[in-house]
Structure 1
Amino acid sequence: MVIYLFILQSCFLHKYSGEMGLDTMIVILSSYFISSALVIFNQHLTMGLPEPPIDLTNPGILLFSIGIIGNFYHHYLLSKLRSQGPNKEYKIPKGGLFGFVICPHYLFEVLVFWGFAFISQTLFSFAYAMGTTFYLLGRSSATRKWYLSKFEKFPMNVKAMIPFLF
């Protein structure tokens, strides 16, 4: 379900700065497919095991919902920055949490995966959420460095992904 929401959002909302090569697209789609298959397989392996002592389903649903809505909203704001036509002018995003972090869509994507981990409560889902968190922290840090190099007046108080911290 999570993957389908991201795929639909990618197909109909995202506006990319350039064309994506077939090899890149195959790698991305393969990673989504393999991740989905591993999550399903892992859930199958846990069938029949005792339930965890603490039920994190409701906090997980809340995190997942906040994450999916926040991710969609910030991708919507980013899609409005791209101009139609050959002009590839870059702009500093505004609105939402962009005044605090340069990659709020990554922050909300991380919340989606942690929500999913709370709902499923398997070691694999927590490891996947942790891996996603560190990967997107690295990407957001690189994105912030890029913005600092491109825009002289980029606000120094805007963090990479976590407001006021990182």
Structure 2
Amino acid sequence: MFFASIFFPPPVSLSLNIISVGMVVFAASLGYSEIKGKHMKYSKFWNFNSRSIKSAKKKEINISSKIGMLLFYTPSFFAGLASLWLCPFEGFRFRLLTSALTFHFFKRIFEVLFIHKYSGGMVLDSAIVVSLGYVITTTTMIYIQRLSQREELILDQPTIDLKFVGIILFCLGISGNFYHHYLLSRMRRNGEKEYRIPTGGLFDKVVCPHYLFELIEFWGIFFISQTLYAFCNALGVTFYLMGRSYITRTWYLSKFEHFPKHVKALFPYIF
């Protein structure tokens, strides 16, 4: 059976399997919400509208984007480090997955501190929600990996080993994502806040190549893991970033008269 050749058997816990499927539905709904104009209160779309529409109906605690993004990623980074320290003998695949997740969030923190340039703020409530989402997803993926590998003595293992393909995809994805984040940061000098049409790298093909490489990174994480939860996470991220990239392209088209129409949202020549 194809499923058995690719995946570790799902955990016997019904709640964990429901969470896996629910993650896809939730992420897809977030992507659809972005398309419909309901943005999380941290994106450039929300920041732009919040400057344009000065009608605050309720009191909200605003924080800088830099502080908010550190709040996004730091708990998950320490969760990954703690897992490496607390579970040092869980096998190569487990260490590989946990190291990949930990490095992913380390790289995000590095970019927040040294690469990104900021043009607005965010709402504290949204920062806390996103942070909790990241840390819950990360710890659950690590826990399910540990559980799956402990059950492998009784249950069947995947007959196709994809972890080395996953390493290649992860390295390609995280490198390409970092490179295009760097190109975005080079578009602004210190103190500048206006937006420009991005250029260089794959920006002449898609408006969000950093999202494209992030997808490659998360599919690499799935190949390393080969659990249903990691697959659902990669699928959910795909749906969400498709929505984000679609609205990003729409936003650029509305703000820049000469934005090149041939530049797609996420996948070159396709979408």
| TM-score, normalising length: structure 1 | 0.94
CA deviation after TM superposition for structure 1 residue 156, in Å: 0.5
Q: How does 1:91-102 map to 2 (within 5 A)?
A: 91-102=196-207
Q: Which residue of 1 aligns with 2:255?
A: 150
CA deviation after TM superposition for structure 1 residue 8, in Å: 2.7
Q: Which residue of 1 aligns with 2:128?
A: 26
Tell me if 1:12 matches 2:114.
Answer: yes
**Alpha-carbon distance in 1 for matches of 2:135, 2:108:** 12
Note if contact 2:118-2:193 (Cα within 8 Å) is conserved in structure 1: no
Note if contact 1:114-1:126 (Cα within 8 Å) is conserved in structure 2: yes
Q: Which of 55, 58, 61 is residue 161 of structure 2 equivalent to?
A: 55
Note if contact 1:3-1:32 (Cα within 8 Å) is conserved in structure 2: no
CA deviation after TM superposition for structure 1 residue 18, in Å: 0.6
Q: How does 1:111-150 map to 2 (within 5 A)?
A: 111-150=216-255
Q: Which residue of 2 aligns with 1:81?
A: 187
**Residues 23-59 of structure 1 deviation map (CA, whole Å, 9 limit, x = unaligned):** 2222222111111111111112202323211011111
CA deviation after TM superposition for structure 1 residue 81, in Å: 1.4
**Alpha-carbon distance in 2 for matches of 1:84, 1:10:** 15
Q: Indicate the structure (1 or 2) with the bigger Cα radius of gyration.
A: 2
What is the count of residue pairs matched by the alignment? Answer: 165
**Alpha-carbon distance in 2 for matches of 1:88, 1:16:** 7
**Alpha-carbon distance in 1 for matches of 2:199, 2:209:** 11
Tell me if 1:39 matches 2:39.
Answer: no
What is the DSSP-based 3-state SS (H/G/I as helix, E as strand, rest coil) of the residue aligned with 1:64?
helix
Note if contact 1:100-1:159 (Cα within 8 Å) is conserved in structure 2: yes
Q: Aligned AA for 2:246?
A: S
CA RMSD, 1 decimal: 1.3
Q: Aligned AA for 1:108?
A: F
**Alpha-carbon distance in 1 for matches of 2:267, 2:157:** 32
**Alpha-carbon distance in 1 for matches of 2:223, 2:109:** 22
Structure 2 regions of 5+ residues with no counterpart? 1-101
| TM-score, normalising length: structure 2 | 0.59
Structure 1 regions of 5+ residues with no counterpart? none
Note if contact 1:3-1:36 (Cα within 8 Å) is conserved in structure 2: no
**Alpha-carbon distance in 2 for matches of 1:138, 1:123:** 23
**Alpha-carbon distance in 1 for matches of 2:189, 2:196:** 10
Q: Identity over aligned residues, as a percent?
A: 55
**Alpha-carbon distance in 1 for matches of 2:211, 2:268:** 12
